[in-house]
Amino acid sequence: MDKGYRQNKNILIVSFYFPPYAEVSGVRALKLCKYLPENGWNPVVITVDERYYQGQVVAELPDEFAALRLLRLLFLPVPKARLFASLFFPFYVFYQVCKKRKKTDAICMIGSPYHPFILTFLFTRLLKIPTGLDFRDSWSNNFGYDGTARQNTSTFSRVLHGIFFLIERIGIRYASVVSFASPVLKKEYIEIHPRYKGKYHVVLNGYDPDDFENVESVSLAGGKTILLAGKFFTYTPEAVSIFFEILRRRDDLTFIYIGNEMKQIAKIALEQEVQDKVILKPYLPYKEVLTYIKGSDYCLLTNGVVNGVGTKIFDYLALRKPTLCLVPQGAALSDLFSDAAGVLICERPFTSADLEEKLTRLFSLKPEKETGLDDRFSRKRSTKKFAEIYHEISK
């Protein structure tokens, strides 16, 4: 416990996705829980049984996981088990909050999924427990992670997102506070739900120095390498072929891809006749991915939505890798990193000439000398801000 607090308060962290879930959705909640105790809060996590993740789990759990107290929704082997868990999760959350209401000082609900956010009315009005919402991404205004515009979607999709909008508005209206992972995301919600902007705060994602201690360097190829870990085709489908056209013309360059799109990337690489210049790896444990990032020379990052930041940019820069970001115009990544050393931004619409010019500039940078992260992106600092916000609403 931090010396500034006589006694830690108790906070329920509601997060459907949580380790051992393998993808990025559980990281924000985990890192908050790691640093909350030194900022006056004891977290208890409400989540689901790991079997609902349908095999998308890691074998090795992070060190900070061991000390956490978790309440998991019981696994039921039913058809479409993850959909069932998602729909039933709000009822389980309400049940656990009711059980623990006398010893709970605050609640934080972290999306996704976001539909449980409608519970804020019951928590703040009925049970009188200060409750915050945390948005890692947008919900009602997100029509596709490749940046698909609302007018280009089906009538059904627009109706469905209209329902999302109503749930979102109810959740935000009765929330005590709302936090967002980037300033651009906060600005988007000010435009969507302007009446409640006084509740809005930014709590950035970031890096945890502990994750990068004793990371070995594993090189997968000789010569110059550029690595992308995560989504490529999903976020920027039009950029894949353009990038491979450039790759074909560069004899000195090898592309390394790590992630769940391995089959799609392999198919396009074959079509573009660059399969001998592409190394493919499936989704791997986080610690192993870090070794390949450290062993590469440069990194490539994509994001299809304006408000998206994710976590991979922090891994790249913490390991001091010059990075090229392929993003929409006005993206949060541009807002946060356009002036950062070792980061280049390439915005839509992507062209061969523009992308090749940016890559040439990227390769002129010296790996591990012209990059890095400043303290504003520290997970410890972000969690301190989060803790102060929740101390304020729980007075």
Mean pLDDT of 116-126: 98
Four-way CATH pick for 9-206+378-393: 3.30.70.360, 3.40.190.10, 3.40.50.2000, 3.30.2180.10: 3.40.50.2000
Query: Hey, what CATH topology would domain 210-374 get?
Result: Rossmann fold (3.40.50)
- Give CA–CA dist 390/175, Å, rounded: 12
User: Positive or negative, the Cα torsion across 87, 93, 95, 96?
Assistant: positive
For the segment 58-73, the average pLDDT, to the nearest whole number, is 84
Average pLDDT on 24-29 reads 91
pLDDT digits (tens, 9 = 90+) for 148-189: 777 778 888 899 999 999 999 999 999 999 999 999 999 999
Tell me the one-letter amino acid at 264: Q
Which residues neighbour 185 within 8 Å (Cβ) at sequence distance 6 or greater?
Answer: 135, 137, 138, 202, 307, 332
Q: The sheet that has 9-15: what strands, in order across it?
A: 69-73, 41-48, 9-15, 106-110, 131-135, 177-180, 200-202
Answer with the residue of higher pLDDT: 67 or 5.
Answer: 67
Q: pLDDT digit string (tens) for 266-303?
A: 999 999 999 999 999 998 889 999 999 999 999 999 99
pLDDT of residue 331: 92
Higher pLDDT, 274 or 375: 274
CB 104 within 8 A of CB 97: yes
213: phi > 0 → left, psi -120 to 50 → alpha, else beta; which? Answer: beta
Please tell me the least confidently modeled range out of 51-60, 118-127, 346-355: 51-60
Cα(313)–Cα(342) distance, integer angstroms: 11
Query: How much is the pLDDT for 1?
Result: 45
Q: How far apart are the first and last CA of the chain?
A: 18
| Integer CA distances (angstroms), 26 to 9, 212, 230, 326, 371, in order | 23, 19, 15, 24, 27
How high is the pLDDT of residue 310? 86
Report pLDDT for 152.
77
Q: What is the pTM of this model?
A: 0.91
Segment holding 241, helix H or strand E = helix 237-249
Averaged pLDDT, 359-364: 96
Where does the pLDDT of residue 74 fall: very low under 50, low under 70, confident under 90, or very high at 90 and above? very high
Better-scored residue on pLDDT, 372 or 273: 273
The beta strands (E) that lie in 215-331 are given as 224-229, 253-258, 278-281, 298-302, 323-327
In 153-275, at which residue ranges do the beta strands (DSSP E only) sit?
177-180, 200-202, 224-229, 253-258
Q: For residue 141, is pLDDT > 80?
A: yes
| pLDDT tens digits along 201-239 | 999 999 999 999 999 999 999 999 999 999 999 999 999
Residue range(s) of every CATH 3.40.50.2000 domain in the chain: 9-206+378-393, 210-374
Please state, rounded to an integer, the average pLDDT across all residues of the chain: 93
